[in-house]
């Protein structure tokens, strides 16, 4: 079947099978910035935003995304670069495989909270993003500093 998706503001017509998940369809359309990690709904590497909400694209039926706004890390490149600078400064970027999903979840959290979330709230919101390099401490420091800087702007 053929579906039309709006990806990062651009309309794209894509062939897909009825039971296919969004990760497969996005990557087939050339969006390799959407990482395929565990592929079982656990690691958060494949996170994208659907109508502004973070979802695991490996567990999201592709046909259901028709007519919705899909945002990958490329769609928020400017904002993601700002956040990435904080990750690098804290030594938290490491191999980088989890970074696109991680950054999208952080950006979604920033939009969802009206004030700066505390550390417990940050850890809770990011519980679905696994990183096997860093141990999270650097990332938590980077997120806090990024959110504080954004709030100050």
Partner 1 sequence: MEILKYACPQSKDEAFRLIREEHGTAIGGAAWLRTNTKTIALGVDLAGLGLEYVREVGDHIEIGAMTTYRELETNPLLRARFGALFETTVSHVVGVQLRNIITVGGTAAGRYGFSDLNTTLCALGAQVVFYPDQTMDLAQFIERGAKVPFLLEKVLLPATAKGTYHQMRISENDFPIINTTAVWTGSEWRIAVGSRPAATRLCPKAMALLGADLHPSDDILASAARAAADELQFGSDIRASAEYRREILPVLVRRALMEVRE
Query: Which SS3 state, helix, strand or coil, does residue 33 take?
Result: coil
| Given 6, 29, 128, 136, the residue binding partner 1 (CB under 8 A) | 128
26 binds partner 1 (CB under 8 A): no
42 binds partner 1 (CB under 8 A): yes
| Given 81, 124, 132, 151, the residue binding partner 1 (CB under 8 A) | 124
40 binds partner 1 (CB under 8 A): yes
Helix H or strand E segment including 110: helix 99-112
| Given 17, 77, 95, 149, the residue binding partner 1 (CB under 8 A) | 17
Q: Residue 122 phi/psi, 5° resolution? A: -65, -45
The minimum distance between CB 74 and partner 1, in angstroms, equals 18
Residue among 7 and 21 whose Cβ is closer to partner 1: 21
Q: Are strands 47-50 and 2-7 parallel, antiparallel or unpaired?
A: unpaired
DSSP assignments along 53-108, one per residue: EEEEGGGSBGGGGTTSEEE-GGGGHHHHHHHHHHHHHTT--TT-TTHHHHHHHHHH
Query: Which range binds partner 1 by CB under 8 A, 5-13, 28-36, 118-126, 141-149?
Result: 118-126
Which residues of the shown chain bind partner 1 in the complex (CB under 8 A)?
A: 1, 17-19, 21, 39-42, 44, 47, 50, 53-56, 58-61, 63-64, 105, 108-109, 124-129
């Amino acid at each position: 079947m053929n579906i039309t998706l709006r990806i990062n503001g651009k309309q794209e017509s894509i062939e897909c099978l009825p039971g296919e998940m969004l990760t497969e369809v996005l990557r087939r359309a050339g969006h390799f910035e959407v990482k395929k990690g565990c592929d079982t709904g656990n690691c958060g590497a494949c996170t994208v935003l659907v109508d502004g909400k973070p979802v695991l694209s490996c567990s999201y039926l592709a046909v259901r995304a028709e007519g919705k706004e899909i945002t990958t890390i490329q769609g928020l490149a400017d904002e993601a670069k700002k956040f990435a600078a904080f990750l690098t400064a804290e030594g938290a970027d490491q191999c980088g495989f989890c970074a696109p999903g991680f950054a999208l979840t952080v950006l979604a959290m920033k939009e969802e909270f009206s004030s700066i979330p505390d550390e417990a709230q940050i850890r809770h919101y990011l519980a679905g993003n696994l990183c096997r390099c860093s141990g999270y401490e650097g990332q938590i420091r980077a997120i806090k500093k990024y959110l504080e800087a954004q709030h100050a702007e």
